[in-house]
Amino acid sequence: MSAMTDFTSCNPATGELVFTRPAWTAEQLDGALLRLAGERAPWANLSVEARAQKLLVLADTLTAARLELADLVTREVGKRTVECLAEIDKSVQLIRYYAELAPALLAAQPIATQASKSGVAFEPLGQVLAIMPWNYPIWQVLRFAVPALMAGNTCLVKPAPVVPLSTARLQDCVREAGLTVLDVAWIDHDHVETAIKASDAVAFTGSTTAGRLIASLAGRHLKKTVLELGGSNPFIVLADADVEAAAREAVHSRFRDAGQSCNAAKRMIVVPEIADAFIEQFVAEASTLRAGDPTLPETSLAPMTRADLRCNLHAQVTDALHNGANLLLGGTLPSGPGFFYPATILDNVNPACRVYHEEVFGPVASLIRARDEADAIRIANDTPFGLGASLYTADTEHGWALARQIEAGSVFINRHTSSDLRLPFGGVKASGYGRELSEFGLYEYVNVKTYWQK
């Protein structure tokens, strides 16, 4: 058994310690589990409309605390303040979305059979445990919790170790809203299995390696899992695409949030007809990004969140250069405080390079030159991951046909990949399974129970 791990955050822009708190003991976890167990029946027995009204109060408390929350996320994650505000605003929209639609989506549905009465009802599973990442500490928690709570479940969240202040302030908002059915478990890795065993389902967002471990622990105890894992999204630019627009979108998708997003464009796959034009425009656009204090409006590239993540990223860049890739921009470790890394573009990335196969979690873009359109689709699928993909073409009918050939949870035509409250979000292959958002994300956290009456 490993030593107990504290929850400790550093300011990515300065490297200075922000906050630390100890992890829970086993007894503290047992107490939280016992308390939540007592909340299950009263919450599940409320009408969906009543649960929606209680969650709408949380939307109001988040709105009132948005500036403070954004400041904390910037201090612990390093994202630009404008990016943090967008995260919180989207979280509020999520609550209002489900509050409006969940009552109809969770209503019992009659199904005609030879029975005098039959159909299905959507009933809560019980308790959902979430093991959450650091890059979107407000959005990721609420993306699972809001539909799970709306369906009548109680929720327990194990946050990432590096965002204790952001998580604690979110917990304060939950309490201010009068919600006692969503709690934070300040536990280290050694106590995760105990929490899984005591829960009825597990939601996990994080790396594929960690996802495999969580899935194995959940499988040992026969608990349902929803896994949103890594991504290496292809960004395909075809011969008839609007090159200038595609380049702008590619820069936004690859370098927002310091490139630390699972759903960002990571592999820019170009066909010969437009390769040079796209690359020239892409490099020019990326060259305008400026790293700096993430609280300042003139900063357009945030620091990375941790020193070890920056070291891992630079090792991937170094490996690519040793294996035939060409450096078009960035690629050098900056001196000075903080965990900054420049916008970096690698050309002629090939299968010998680690970045060709691995997820690249930082501001580094891989350019891959395809032989033709068919080869571009082959390269797009030549990855362990399958979260999302973008495809740029003037012939949208043809784009839809090509999209069906791409192995991914979503394909965006003439737009960068993103999540929309109204559409399911999730991946295939090593990007996980299950869906979040939309009605499909809501139904992940229910027992679809059949009723039949003679």
Question: What's the pLDDT score for residue 212?
Answer: 98
Residues of the chain by 3-state class (helix, strand, coil), percent to 5 = 45, 20, 35
Question: What's the pLDDT score for residue 410?
Answer: 98
C-beta of residue 17 within 8 angstroms of C-beta of residue 10: yes
DSSP string of 121-151? EEEE-SEEEEE--SSSTTHHHHHHHHHHHHT
Question: What's the pLDDT score for residue 2?
Answer: 42
Dist. CA 48–CA 147, nearest whole Å: 11
Residue 454 makes CB contacts below 8 A (sequence gap 6+) with 115, 116
Averages of pLDDT over runs of 10 residues in the chain (454 residues) are 72 97 97 98 98 98 98 98 98 98 98 97 98 98 98 98 98 98 97 98 98 98 98 98 98 98 98 98 98 97 98 98 98 96 98 98 98 98 98 98 98 98 98 98 98 96
Residue 42 makes CB contacts below 8 A (sequence gap 6+) with none
Nearest to 354 by CA among 305, 324, 322, 316: 316
Dist. CA 50–CA 251, nearest whole Å: 44
Evaluate the CA torsion angle 308, 311, 313, 316 in order and state its sign. negative
Of the candidates 84, 155, 173, 262, the residue annotated as catalytic is 262
Question: What's the pLDDT score for residue 23?
Answer: 97
**Structure-token match 């689709």, residue found:** 377
Question: What's the pLDDT score for residue 204?
Answer: 98
CATH number for region 7-229+431-453: 3.40.605.10
CATH architecture of the domain covering 233-420: 3-Layer(aba) Sandwich (3.40)
Annotated catalytic residue 262: yes
Annotated catalytic residue 176: no
Residues pairing with 49 in the sheet = none
Domain assignments of the chain as residue spans, ordered by start: 7-229+431-453, 233-420
**Structure-token match 């784009």, residue found:** 399
**Structure-token match 């029946």, residue found:** 41
Residues pairing with 228 in the sheet = 205, 432
C-beta of residue 389 within 8 angstroms of C-beta of residue 409: no
Q: Strand pairing of 182-184 and 154-158? A: parallel
Question: What's the pLDDT score for residue 158?
Answer: 98
Question: What's the pLDDT score for residue 1?
Answer: 35
Of the candidates 76, 228, 249, 444, the residue annotated as catalytic is 228
